[in-house]
Structure 1
Amino acid sequence: MELLKVHSEGGLNVTLTIRLLMHGKVRDSLRKSREGLKKGETVKKMREESTARINISEGNCPERIVTITGPTDAIFKAFAMIAYKFEEDIISSMSNSPATSKPPVTLRLVVPASQCGSLIGKGGSKIKEMRESTGAQVQVAGDMLPNSTERAVTISGTPEAIIQCVKQICVVLLESPPKGATIPYRPKPASTPVIFSGGQAYTIQGQYAIPHPDLTKLHQLAMQQTPFTPLGQTAPAFPGLDASPTASTHELTIPNDLIGCIIGRQGTKINEIRQMSGAQIKIANAMEGSSERQITITGTPANISLAQYLINAR
Structure 2
Amino acid sequence: RAVITEEFKVPDKMVGFIIGRGGEQISRIQIESGCKIQIAPDSGGMPERPCVLTGTPESIEQAKRLLGQIVDRCRNGPGFHNDVDGNSTIQEILIPASKVGLVIGKGGETIKQLQERTGVKMIMIQDGPLPTGADKPLRITGDAFKVQQAREMVLEIIREKDQADFRGVRSDFSARMGGGSIEVSVPRFAVGIVIGRNGEMIKKIQNDAGVRIQFKPDDGISSERVAQVMGLPDRCQHAAHIISELILTAQERDGFGSMAVARGRGRGRGDWSVGTPGGMQEITYTVPADKCGLVIGKG
Q: Tell which has more relative contact order, 1 or 2 (C-alpha 8 A, sep 6+).
A: 2
Task: Select the structure that is richer in helix.
Answer: 2
TM normalised by structure 1 equals 0.28
Tell which structure's C-alpha radius of gyration is larger.
Answer: 1
